[in-house]
């Protein structure tokens, strides 16, 4: 446990300091891109036929992704340990931390949301719409300041779990295999775990597996947000179940409560109006509220660091 904790702390520090370097991304892309390409290819080849067939093949795809990703990550981890040898434990810990940092998104999430906040602060609404379109799936071309702020805050809340707390949790539980299996499942859910007719059967296993793997991390992430924001716990407990996902509502409701503003509500996807559940109460968020949500996010990340460090004191 001590080695895993130190590896996770190292990965968190590397991710916060440098993120995933653009030079590396340009050369080899990112593990999530590799996973996404494989999942998209499999979906095009397999997602046809009757409902039972598509559901079965979707289950097989997730099992294959878990097995392949876990095996590759285990081989990388064991190769690093063997190369370092028993005489150089810190070299092994450092190398594993570097690889594991690729599964975290503290810096990239902050930078994306900060870009939105900067554009809003400069009264550049078209720029803010373009910036927020990089992190949300909804239509952004007609959003006003409040709509852009809400979209960015909601993405920040959800991604705090998916991109930071959940990967950290599974890194701690299962090392490199654990964290990259989680990323494979989460990537599959984002690509095929939808309720549209095309994906409902084929993506069923991806959505349910992602729900299971986020069950504990989502609640931890919501608690961190409430502590960092000095409030919101009552709103989180009251409103989390409004979301159709058993997990996504925890962080959104927590941040809505901590901010004292309402999130969710009317959106549109591909020019089709939709109604998201609402979380919290009060006025709709503004640019200043978005800036405050980033400060809460930084404190919540610090709480994750402190909690991880405290595990070193456990017997």
| Ranges of H-type helices in 137-286 | 145-160, 166-192, 204-228, 233-239, 248-259
Name beta bridge partners: 264. 278
pLDDT attached to residue 79: 95
Residue 15's region, left for phi above 0, alpha for psi from -120 to 50, else beta, is alpha
Q: Give the Cα separation of 205 and 64 in Å (integer).
A: 12
DSSP 302: H
pLDDT attached to residue 147: 95
pLDDT attached to residue 43: 95
Nearest to 151 by CA among 227, 264, 56, 235: 264
Q: What residue spans define the domains of the chain?
A: 2-313
pTM: 0.95
Nearest to 35 by CA among 102, 106, 105: 102
pLDDT tens digits in sequence order for the chain, 315 residues long: 678 899 999 999 999 999 999 999 899 999 999 999 999 999 999 999 999 999 999 999 999 999 999 999 999 999 998 988 888 889 999 999 999 999 999 999 999 999 999 999 999 999 999 999 999 988 899 999 999 999 999 999 999 999 999 999 999 999 999 999 999 999 999 999 988 889 999 999 999 999 999 999 999 999 999 999 999 999 999 999 999 899 999 999 999 999 999 999 998 888 888 888 999 999 999 999 999 999 999 999 999 999 999 998 876
Q: Which residue has the tokens 């200043």?
A: 288
Q: Give the Cα separation of 3 and 8 in Å (integer).
A: 9
Q: Would you call 170 helix, strand, or coil by DSSP?
A: helix
Helix axes 287-310, 145-160, angle to 10 degrees: 10
Strands 272-279 vs 263-269: parallel, antiparallel or unpaired: antiparallel
Q: What's the token pair of residue 29? A: 């892309």
pLDDT attached to residue 1: 64
Tell me the torsion sign for CA atoms 293, 113, 251, 102.
negative
DSSP 164: I
């Amino acid at each position: 446990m001590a080695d895993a904790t130190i590896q996770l702390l190292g990965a968190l520090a590397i991710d916060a300091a440098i993120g995933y370097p653009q030079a590396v991304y340009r050369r080899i892309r990112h593990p999530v891109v590799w996973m996404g390409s494989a999942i998209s290819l499999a979906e095009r080849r397999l997602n046809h036929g009757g409902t039972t067939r598509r559901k079965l093949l979707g289950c097989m795809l997730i099992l294959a992704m878990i097995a392949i990703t876990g095996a590759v990550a285990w081989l990388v981890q064991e190769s690093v340990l063997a190369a370092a040898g028993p005489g150089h434990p810190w070299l092994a810990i450092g190398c594993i931390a570097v690889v594991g940092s690729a599964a975290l998104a503290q810096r990239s999430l902050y930078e994306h949301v900060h870009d939105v906040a900067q554009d809003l602060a400069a009264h550049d609404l078209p720029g803010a719409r373009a910036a927020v379109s990089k992190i949300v799936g909804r239509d952004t071309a007609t959003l006003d300041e409040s709509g852009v702020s809400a979209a960015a805050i909601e993405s920040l809340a959800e991604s705090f779990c998916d991109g930071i707390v959940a990967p950290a949790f599974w890194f701690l539980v299962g090392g490199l295999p654990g964290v990259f299996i989680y990323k494979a499942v989460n990537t599959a859910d984002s690509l095929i775990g939808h309720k549209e007719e095309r994906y409902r059967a084929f993506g069923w296993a991806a959505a349910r597996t992602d729900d299971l793997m986020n069950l504990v991390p989502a609640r931890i992430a919501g608690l961190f947000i409430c502590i960092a924001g000095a409030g919101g716990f009552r709103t989180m407990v009251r409103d989390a179940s409004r979301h159709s996902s058993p997990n996504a509502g925890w962080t959104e409701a927590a941040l809505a409560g901590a901010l004292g503003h309402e999130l969710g509500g009317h959106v549109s996807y591909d020019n089709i109006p939709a109604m998201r559940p609402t979380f919290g109460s009060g006025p709709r968020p503004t640019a200043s509220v978005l800036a405050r949500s980033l400060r809460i996010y930084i404190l919540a990340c610090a709480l994750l660091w402190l909690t991880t460090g405290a595990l070193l004191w456990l017997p």
